[in-house]
C-alpha cells in the first residue's frame, strides 16, 4: 500500500497545550495502536549521546508516549543520531532523519553548497547511506533508518531515492503545502514501496474548519484520504 494512515503528533501541536496536550497525545497513540494504525511521532528530537538515548527510550521503546517511529534532527552530527538508530534497530521501530524539509527556509543550511561540490543535504545523505548499508533489511530491502524529504522538492526526491535505496522516505508537504502526486511519485522505489506521504491540513480539515459536524468530518477525511491514495498510486503507475 503506497499510502499509510498515521497519527501525526505535530499537526494538532499537542505540546503547545502543555501537559494536558501530552496526555491527549498519549491517549490518541494508545487508541491508534489498538486499531493497528502506525504512529509516527514527528517530534524532531536531537541531542548529545546520553540525552538522545533518553529521548529514544521515551519515544520509541517505553511508556505511554512511545510510538512506532520518530523524526530526528541531524544538526548535532552522526553521534547524536546513533542512540536513536540503534534503539530503533534493536526494537523493530523506525527513525526518520530530517534531510531536506518542505519549508522555504530549508535552503539556508540544507542547500548550503559545500567546498566538495555538493549541497549539505547530499553530504548528510551520503553519511546516512553508509550507516544504512550496515543495517539489517526487511523483506522489501528497507532498514530502520529513514529520512524526511519534502514533497515540495521533486528533483531532490529522485536524487535521494537513488542515494538512499535502503531508507523509507517520510514525505511531508503534500496538498496544502503544494506537493502533487507526480512530485511525490519519485519517493517510491521500483516496486512502489518505501515512502510514507504525509498530509495533515488537507485531511484534518477536509470538511472545513474545526467546529462542524464530526460525522461529516470523518466522511470528508476518509474521502480525501482515498483521493490522495488513488492520485499517488496513479502517479506511480504512470512513471
Comparing CB distances to its own copies, the nearer of 204 and 233 is 204
- Binds its own copies by CB under 8 A, chosen from 103, 137, 216, 223: 103
Q: Does 33 bind its own copies (CB under 8 A)?
A: no
Shortest gap between Cβ of 200 and its own copies (angstroms)? 10
Binding mask 107-136 for its own copies (x = CB under 8 A): xxxx-xxxxxx--x--xx--x---------
Q: Give me the count of residues in the chain.
A: 239
Q: Rounded to 10 degrees, what is the CA torsion of 60, 111, 101, 44?
A: 30
- Binds its own copies by CB under 8 A, chosen from 19, 34, 36, 211: 19
Q: Does 74 bind its own copies (CB under 8 A)?
A: yes
Grid coordinates 546520553 are at which residue?
50
Burial of 213 (0-12, 13-18, 19+ CB in 10 A): exposed
Strand partners, 196: 170
Give the C-alpha separation, 66 to 232, whole Å. Answer: 29
Grid coordinates 526494537 are at which residue?
91
Q: Does 55 bind its own copies (CB under 8 A)?
A: yes
Give the C-alpha separation, 126 to 15, whole Å. Answer: 33
Give yes or no: 100 in active site. no
Q: Does 58 bind its own copies (CB under 8 A)?
A: yes
Shortest gap between Cβ of 150 and its own copies (angstroms)? 10
Residues in the interface with its own copies (CB under 8 A) total 56
- Binds its own copies by CB under 8 A, chosen from 6, 29, 87, 102: 102
Strand partners, 71: 96
Give the C-alpha separation, 74 to 219, whole Å. Answer: 38
Would you please indicate which residues are annotated as catalytic (active-site) residues? 44
Amino acid at each position: 500500500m503506497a499510502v499509510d494512515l498515521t497519527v501525526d503528533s505535530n499537526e494538532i501541536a499537542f505540546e503547545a497545550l502543555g501537559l494536558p496536550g501530552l496526555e491527549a497525545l498519549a491517549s490518541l497513540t494508545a487508541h491508534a495502536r489498538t486499531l493497528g494504525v502506525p504512529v509516527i511521532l514527528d517530534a524532531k528530537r536531537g541531542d548529545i549521546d546520553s540525552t538522545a538515548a533518553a529521548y529514544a527510550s521515551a519515544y520509541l521503546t517505553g511508556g505511554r508516549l512511545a510510538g512506532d517511529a520518530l523524526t530526528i534532527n541531524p544538526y548535532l552530527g552522526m553521534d547524536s543520531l546513533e542512540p536513536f538508530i540503534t534503539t530503533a534497530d534493536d526494537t523493530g521501530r523506525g527513525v526518520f532523519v530530517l534531510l531536506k524539509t518542505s519549508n522555504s527556509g530549508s535552503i539556508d543550511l540544507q542547500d548550503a553548497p559545500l567546498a566538495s561540490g555538493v549541497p549539505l543535504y547530499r553530504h548528510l545523505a551520503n553519511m546516512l547511506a553508509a550507516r544504512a548499508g550496515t543495517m539489517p533489511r526487511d523483506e522489501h530491502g528497507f532498514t530502520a533508518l529513514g529520512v524526511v524529504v519534502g514533497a515540495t522538492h521533486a528533483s531532490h526526491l529522485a536524487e535521494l531515492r537513488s542515494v538512499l535505496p535502503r531508507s523509507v522516505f517520510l514525505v511531508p508537504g503534500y496538498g496544502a503545502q503544494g506537493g502533487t502526486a507526480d512530485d511525490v511519485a519519485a519517493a517510491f522505489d521500483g516496486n512502489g514501496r518505501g515512502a510514507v506521504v504525509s498530509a495533515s491540513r488537507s485531511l484534518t480539515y477536509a470538511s472545513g474548519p474545526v467546529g462542524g459536524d464530526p460525522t461529516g468530518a470523518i466522511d470528508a477525511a476518509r474521502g480525501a484520504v482515498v483521493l490522495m491514495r488513488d492520485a499517488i498510486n496513479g502517479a506511480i503507475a504512470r512513471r
